[in-house]
């Protein structure tokens, strides 16, 4: 479905194009903030300097950084509490691929999960590939600077492929592929369920190289790529396989030679893409590919202005609020016949006609979007170490709740847990002056018999509180009008109370959400598994950019006037789903859903027989798998837009 732009947007379009073009050329994206990360010396991180890395002296640092990676991941705790691998400011010279691997042969052929590269500064922590390296010079045999991989039970896994690449992440640094390295790839990335590339620049000043971020191995995602700029290469980002799902926000692509983003079969949720290219900003080559793109700016050049296409697709598309400039054509869509769009502003377009069961507006909810508030402080005088107040990340027999609570009540803005494994027997209250609790990727488990929430947000002095880099096996409760931010965390469940009407922001999380009272929620890269329903919305407003689920369960239960907008999702039942279990259960609520059911578990194929069960004012209707196939929707049951908007 396509809705034409109106003349009311013309002046705004001209102004916004000029402003965003200027910002993009100086390397900035307006909604992104680059921050330094300086961990306290007692936070139990792995520092590459301790393994012989020496920045800024022109010596080769590859072996030293690789030793640090091996130290960090070669531990039984890598699944839930892998330590950060800290790379201080400076230029580090690289001559071979840095891999999340401890060797070859044996378990998983040496590939292990839990590699978290944490630079100090995006601009000043630079991994610089030496120029003219023979191993990186062959475009027919691409070779990455950084390569993350997945664990496997077998002893033969030379490529590191798989779906157990848990928490592999890269933050706050620049990858420079040098010159004369025509076969270079910036990052060959694999992460599963949770992982991120955030606040990262990938640079080929000569524009040579194959791909900035490559995700061609089995199986990419779900993971979050945010606040990333890529200059040069044939492709800025390339994604190959059908499963699972990738989420992108605030991406700047410049000077690619074939395409900005190249997608074969994956589901990509993208918001805030700025592309400055003479080639397509997005190319969807496979008929099973699915791209949801919103709030983006696509700028062509002299060649593109004559004959270029900004978005070319053989797969499914959902486009919202897209501005296009200096391309001969905005969209060339061959997924269902052939459709061409030349307009410079696309308010909303879907490859398929939106599906509805009740009378509905033709366009989606288009809920307002807020950027995630992020608190950063490098003033360590504002930080409190929970172990200084009695907690211990090295003794699981202790009850660490009192120590963590005392650190929070000390009045410091930031509380940190040195990397380790903690246990608690009572709920920790987020209050006082606390602005952020950062776990350094620690785990917190409830003591036997303790079933209350591990964390509860109550009233305090700061307007918002953040939980970051934690692995929780207990729940989170929101009981305040204050904002709660949850980033890079695992937790079984979140719920709000009648007092918990403050905003919620989640990014790159594994956890189910129960919005039981009116509340605004913005979620980016939400992975929910094995909780029924996996997302409950009672009277709230929930906006989701990118979602992946597992289990034969209801994904969304929406009721009581709630509004839910999901911009791209992969729902995987993994086994037979009872015929009465829908993907979405809607009762007197509004929803806009763009999703696919992945349907496969190895060689077996499963699916939801019932996609939507919706009731409005006492009248119930169903959308079944048979209905979808009668509409011609057989491409892995990809639904561009299910809409129920009054």
Q: CA 568: distance to chain centroid?
A: 12
Q: What integer pLDDT is reported at residue 382 of this predicted model? A: 97
Q: What integer pLDDT is reported at residue 605 of this predicted model? A: 73
Q: What integer pLDDT is reported at residue 235 of this predicted model? A: 99
In percent, the amount of the chain with pLDDT more than 70 equals 93
How confident is the model over 478-487, as a mean pLDDT? 99
HEC-encoded secondary structure of 1-26: CEECCCHHHHHHHHHHHHHHHHHHHC
Q: What integer pLDDT is reported at residue 4 of this predicted model? A: 36
Q: What integer pLDDT is reported at residue 603 of this predicted model? A: 65
Position 600 confidence tier, pLDDT thresholds 50, 70, 90: low
Position 572 confidence tier, pLDDT thresholds 50, 70, 90: very high
Two tokens, residue 562: 């709630």
DSSP-assigned states of every residue in 555-586: SEEEETT-EEEEEEEEEE--SPPPTT-EEEEE
Q: What integer pLDDT is reported at residue 154 of this predicted model? A: 84
What single DSSP character describes residue 449?
Answer: T
Does the 37-230+241-246 domain belong in CATH 3.30.420.10? no
Distance in angstroms (rounded) separating the CA atoms of residues 75 and 81:
9
State which H helix or E strand residue 67 sits in: helix 62-73
Position 571 confidence tier, pLDDT thresholds 50, 70, 90: very high
How confident is the model over 34-63, as a mean pLDDT? 95
Backbone φ and ψ for 67, nearest 5 degrees, come out as -60, -40
**CA–CA distances in Å: residue 176 to residues 90, 122, 232:** 13, 12, 11
- Rounded to 10 degrees, what is the CA torsion of 80, 82, 83, 89? -120
Q: What integer pLDDT is reported at residue 530 of this predicted model? A: 86
Q: What integer pLDDT is reported at residue 32 of this predicted model? A: 44
What single DSSP character describes residue 306?
Answer: H
Least confident interval from 43-52, 105-114, 455-464, 592-601: 592-601
Q: What integer pLDDT is reported at residue 601 of this predicted model? A: 59
Query: pLDDT of 10-31, one tens digit each?
Result: 333 444 444 444 444 434 333 3
Query: pLDDT of 233-282, one tens digit each?
Result: 999 999 999 889 999 999 999 999 999 999 999 999 999 999 999 999 99
Query: pLDDT of 393-434, one tens digit each?
Result: 999 899 999 999 999 999 999 999 999 999 999 999 999 999
How confident is the model over 200-210, as a mean pLDDT? 98
Position 635 confidence tier, pLDDT thresholds 50, 70, 90: low
How confident is the model over 37-47, as a mean pLDDT? 97
Q: Is there a contact between 151 and 165 (Cβ–Cβ < 8 Å)?
A: yes
Mean pLDDT, the chain, integer: 94
348 has pLDDT over 90: yes
Query: pLDDT of 132-142, one tens digit each?
Result: 999 999 999 99
Position 35 confidence tier, pLDDT thresholds 50, 70, 90: confident
């Amino acid at each position: 479905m396509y809705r034409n732009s109106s003349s009311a947007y013309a002046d705004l379009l001209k102004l916004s194009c000029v402003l965003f073009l200027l910002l993009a050329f100086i390397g900035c994206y307006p909604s992104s903030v680059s921050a330094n990360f300086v961990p306290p010396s007692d936070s139990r991180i792995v520092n590459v300097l301790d393994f012989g890395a020496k920045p800024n002296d022109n010596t080769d640092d590859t072996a030293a950084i690789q030793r640090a990676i091996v130290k960090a991941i070669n531990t039984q705790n890598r699944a839930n509490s892998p330590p950060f691998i800290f790379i201080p400011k400076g230029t580090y010279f690289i001559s071979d691929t840095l891999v999340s691997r401890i060797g070859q042969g044996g378990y998983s052929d040496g590939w292990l999960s839990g590699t978290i590269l944490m630079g100090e500064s995006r601009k000043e922590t630079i991994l610089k590939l030496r120029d003219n390296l023979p191993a990186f010079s062959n475009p027919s045999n691409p070779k990455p600077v950084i390569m993350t991989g997945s664990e496997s039970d077998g002893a033969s896994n030379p490529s590191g492929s798989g779906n157990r690449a848990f928490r592999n992440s890269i933050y706050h640094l620049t990858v420079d592929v040098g010159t004369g390295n025509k076969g270079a790839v910036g990052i060959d990335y694999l992460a599963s369920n949770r992982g991120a590339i955030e606040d990262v620049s990938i640079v080929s000043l000569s524009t040579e190289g194959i791909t900035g971020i490559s995700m061609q191995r089995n199986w990419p995602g779900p993971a979050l790529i945010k606040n990333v700029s890529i200059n040069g290469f044939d492709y800025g980002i390339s994604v190959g396989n059908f499963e699972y799902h990738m989420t992108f926000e605030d991406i700047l692509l410049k000077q690619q030679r074939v395409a900005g983003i190249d997608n074969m079969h994956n589901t990509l949720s993208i918001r805030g893409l700025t592309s400055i290219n003479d080639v397509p900003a997005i190319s969807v080559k496979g008929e099973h590919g699915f791209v949801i793109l919103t709030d983006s700016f696509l700028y062509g050049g002299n060649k593109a202005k004559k004959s270029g296409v900004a978005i070319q697709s053989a797969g499914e598309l959902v486009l919202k609020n897209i501005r296009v400039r200096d391309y001969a054509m905005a969209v060339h869509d061959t997924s269902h016949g052939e459709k061409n769009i030349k307009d410079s502003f696309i308010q909303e377009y879907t490859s398929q006609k939106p599906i509805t069961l009740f009378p509905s507006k033709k366009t989606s909810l288009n809920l307002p979007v807020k950027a995630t508030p992020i608190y950063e402080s490098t003033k360590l005088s504002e930080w409190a170490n929970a172990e200084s107040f009695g907690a211990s990340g090295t003794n699981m027999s202790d009850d660490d709740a009192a120590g963590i609570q005392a650190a929070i009540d000390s009045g410091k803005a930031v509380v940190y847990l040195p990397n380790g494994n903690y246990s608690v027997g009572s709920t920790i209250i987020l209050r006082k002056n606390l602005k952020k609790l950062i776990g350094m990727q620690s785990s917190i488990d409830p003591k036997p018999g303790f079933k209350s929430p591990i964390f509860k947000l109550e009233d305090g002095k700061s307007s918002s509180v953040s939980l970051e880099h934690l692995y929780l096996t207990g729940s989170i409760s929101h009981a305040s009008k204050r904002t709660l931010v949850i980033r890079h965390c695992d937790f079984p469940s979140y719920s709000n109370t009648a007092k918990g009407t403050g905003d919620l922001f989640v990014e790159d999380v594994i956890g189910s959400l129960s919005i039981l009272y009116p509340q605004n929620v913005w979620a980016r890269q939400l992975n929910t598994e094995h909780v029924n329903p996996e997302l409950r919305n009672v009277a709230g407003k929930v906006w989701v950019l990118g979602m992946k689920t597992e289990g034969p369960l209801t994904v969304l239960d929406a009721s009581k006037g709630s509004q839910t907008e999901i911009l791209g999702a992969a729902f995987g039942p993994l086994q037979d789903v009872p015929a009465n279990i829908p993907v979405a259960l809607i009762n007197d609520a509004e929803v806009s859903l763009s999703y696919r059911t992945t349907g496969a578990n190895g060689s077996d194929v499963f699916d939801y027989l019932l996609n939507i069960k919706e009731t409005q004012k006492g009248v119930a209707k169903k959308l079944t798998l048979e209905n979808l196939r009668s509409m011609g929707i057989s491409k892995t049951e990809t639904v561009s837009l299910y809409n129920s908007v009054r």
